[in-house]
Amino acid sequence: MNPEFNRRTFVKLGALAAASTALVPGKSNAAEVIVLPDLPYAKDALEPHIDALTMEIHHDKHHAAYIAKFNEARAKNEELMAEPLIDTLRTLPSINDEALRTTLRNNGGGHWNHSFFWETLAPADKSGKPSDELAKAIDKAFGSFDAFKTAFAEAATKRFGSGWAWLIATADDKLKVVSTPNQDNPLMKGIVPAADQGTPILGLDVWEHAYYLHYQNKRLDYINAWWNVVNWSKVNERFKKTV
């Protein structure tokens, strides 16, 4: 299932509707049951930075559980089954059933975020680097690439409890680092604060299950290691679609 709600801005929803279908592996039509997307690499391909057992549990157990719970909740409502994931997540505030809204938010968000995350990763020897265009945009927004990494690491380490750190393109075409709790993401209009909304370009999972087996409580060590396996080709592709 592609996380179809990649958008440059919430005002220009239609502009990136088609482009967003290329973000993650797998494909789903509106009424199809969502299935777990395959990883685009072997589970041990990110070692020693992210270990194979963590990838196995993270992908095969955690991500699969989000999908199962989302499918179960959506199947109870014919209207939800008839719409794409993007529409469900974009209109969450309008769902009056609080329990259903929470289930869809947590598990639909969990599916989209993880699908996005898997494609953000690549073996270290295939990681690449930011494109000239992205590098210039990062320098303009943060002063330097090192300053950007510092800001991103700070957002990731200061996220209390579970959540994500993101590099986003905002509605006014600026790059910004934000973080969201749990399985929220910057595309959830009406859920996340307006200041944290935008199009995700890069995202890091800082739930403990993403790193605890290997790094224990040393989240910063995990963040520093993660830079070695960022799939800059995919990040560059996402950025290009926002400009």
Residues 14-55: tens digit of each pLDDT: 333 233 333 333 344 445 689 999 999 999 999 999 999 999
Q: How much is the pLDDT for 119?
A: 97
pTM metric for this prediction: 0.85
Domain with CATH 3.55.40.20 in the chain: 125-240
The reply to whether 214 sits in an annotated binding site is no
Query: CATH 1.10.287.990 residue ranges in the chain?
Result: 13-40+50-121
What pLDDT shows up at residue 79? Answer: 78
Q: Annotation-wise, does 114 bind a ligand?
A: yes
Instruction: Using CA atoms of 62, 68, 70, 75 in order, give the dihedral in degrees to the nearest 10.
Output: 180
Cβ contacts of residue 172 below 8 Å, gap of 6+?
A: none
Out of 53-57, 109-113, 123-127, 187-191, pick the least confident. 187-191
- The answer to the question of whether 59 is labelled as a binding residue is no
Q: How many CB atoms lie within 10 A of CB 78?
A: 9
Query: Which pLDDT does position 32 carry in this prediction?
Result: 67
State pLDDT tens for residues 157-183. Answer: 999 999 999 999 999 989 999 999 999
- To the question of domain 13-40+50-121 being in CATH 3.10.350.10, the answer is no
- Is domain 125-240 given the CATH code 3.55.40.20 in the classification? yes
Was 58 annotated as part of a binding site? yes
